[in-house]
Chains A and B, each alone.
Chain A
Amino acid sequence: MSGRAPFNLPWMTFLSFVLVGISILISIIWASLSGRKK
């Protein structure tokens, strides 16, 4: 990846926000799946 991510951040720094987004997504998916299993 080259250039800048949103907010002029370097991509590697911006990815920290992406990781938070992924965590939220995982928690929602896990919560709905583990509920369905029962």
Chain B
Amino acid sequence: MNSLFIYTSVLVVYLGLLVLIGVVMGRRLRSAEDFYIGGRNIGAWVTALSFVAAYFSSVVIVGGGGFGYKFGLSTLWIGAINVFLGCTLCWIVMGRRLREITQRLNTMTIPEFLYKKYNSREAQVFSAMVIVIFMIVYNVSILKGMGHIFEGLMNMPYAWGVLLSGVIIIIYVAIGGYLAVVWTGAFQAVVMGAALVLLTVFTLKHTGGLSHAVLSLERINPGYVETPGVWGWGGLLSFALTVSFGVWGMPQMVIRFYSIKNVDVLRIGTVLVTLGGSMALLPYLNGAISRILFPSLPSSDLAIPTLTRHVLSDLGGAIFLSGVIAAGMSTFSSVLIIISSSLVRDVMRVEGERAIFLNRIWSAVAGIVSLLIALKPPALVLVLCAFAWAVIASVTLWPILFGIYKEKVKKNACLVSMGGGFLTSLIWIAAKNPLKIHGFIPGILVGLLLFVMVDALSRH
């Protein structure tokens, strides 16, 4: 009873704060540009922190921990490649260009950028539809992660956990729009980081320090400490690339560059995002080490919740729970706004005052649909997430990258690359990832090849 009281109190305060931020930001909303991209006036700290928060959701904490549990310490490479490719290089390569070109073209969404850059309404609608459908899949994986955490830490039925977190997010996104998303995201990144550090410190204390934990894990199976270890290079690298390079094509991530105040802000932001992103290694580390304490869990997704309960006090557990909810909510909210903007601005092409109203409605609808699917979701958290990322990034990555670096690009190259990347990744994943290579890799390779070939052919 006492522990339930502690958990509930911390949660009520925390969730109340989020809704408050939503309401305050909602009052600042003046135009559709505010709703979509915060009026292009967001500073370095908030942008970098909210980027990290949107990147590392409950999927990474719960699912990443699960992968750590299942495959061992080689999964640290996923976190490291996340930092290098998904944070540092992504900001360096895409930040400035995307900020400048999207302002010049006056675009507020990724599909709209593709429309104006390639002069193709087809590219806009196709990318928007892919984003809407597969972002909902992604949202399901996020809610599933949160449901497991409530289940593992508070003994709350899975469905209640999903409902509670889903409803709060839907409220603050619908009220506060993008401004609420970035500000709650920045706040949540701090909570997440603190929670992960707390868990790591106590886990290592419980297992006798890192050196000792590594030896204990090795005694269970040397494959759990070696790289590539029990997973093998194909699975490890292709997965790491999917959730790292994939960021470059994920609208909820690159939209951060649209909304940043000016290009100077990007410099300090790049350092901040790299430092903040380093927390990505911690779930994998904790998940791998948890095998020493619990050698045979029924599901690897339970590794982090079980570990938390075991090594942290009630207050610590409550703070950690807030951290995971923070991670899930910040990503879910970023994704909701991308879904609604794709529908309202890109498919329905509504602008002005009515657009804000419609965005509120559609973000709520998308949230509710994700929520209903998440009540009985298929597959493991991280598997679902990687599926959605692979398909979306296979469609958008090259058209965005070529679009910001090449002055003249061909519409056909964009369309064929999108279609080819989409089909390849989908078919590959449906065939259960042959050669243990994730569908993202063939998806982007085919997308790249088609873009270059069709672009060259169209010029002759």
Contacts and interface: CB of A to CB of B under 8 A. Distances in A.
Given A9-B225, A12-B226, A31-B271, A23 B88 contact: yes
Contacts of B210: 7-8
A8 B207 CA distance: 14
Interface stretch (B75-83, B164-172, B304-312): B75-83
Given A9-B73, A34-B267, A35-B267, A16 B211 contact: no
B87 A23 contact: yes
Top 4 nearest A-B pairs (CB, nearest first) are: A16-B80, A12-B227, A27-B274, A31-B267
A22 to B, nearest CB: 7
B268 interface: yes
A interface, over-half SS: helix
A20 B278 contact: yes
Interface in A8-24: 8-10, 12-13, 15-17, 19-20, 22-24
Contact of A16 (B76, B88, B218): B76
A16 B227 contact: yes
Interface string B77-110: 1011101100110011000000000000000000
Given A8-B211, A9-B214, A17 B80 contact: yes
Which interface residue of B83, B229, B264, B275 has the most chain A CB atoms within 10 A? Answer: B83
Nearest to B79: A16
B268 A31 contact: yes
A19 B80 contact: yes
Interface of A: 7-10, 12-13, 15-17, 19-20, 22-24, 26-28, 30-31, 34-35
Contacts of B271: 24, 27-28, 31
Contacts of B268: 31
B227 A8 contact: no
A31 B91 CA distance: 11
A12 to B, nearest CB: 4
B12 interface: no
B403 to A, nearest CB: 22
Nearest to B288: A13
Interface in B315-344: none
B50 interface: no
B88 A19 contact: no
Contacts of B76: 13, 16-17
A26 B88 contact: yes
A20 B279 CA distance: 10
Interface string B386-428: 0000000000000000000000000000000000000000000
Contacts of B264: 35
Given A20-B278, A34-B267, A8 B92 contact: no
Contacts of A24: 88, 271, 274-275, 278
B19 interface: no
A35 B203 CA distance: 41
A16 B214 CA distance: 15
A19 B88 CA distance: 11
Contact of B270 (A8, A15, A31): A31
Nearest to B96: A34
A26 B80 CA distance: 14
Given A30-B270, A31-B267, A31-B268, A20 B80 contact: yes
Nearest to B92: A30
14 contacts: A8-B211, A8-B218, A16-B76, A16-B79, A19-B81, A20-B278, A23-B80, A23-B83, A23-B88, A23-B274, A24-B88, A24-B278, A27-B271, A31-B267
Contacts of A35: 264, 267
B200 to A, nearest CB: 13
Contacts of B84: 19-20, 22-23
Contacts of B281: 16-17, 20
Contacts of B92: 26-27, 30
A15 B80 CA distance: 9
B215 interface: yes
B201 to A, nearest CB: 15
A30 to B, nearest CB: 5
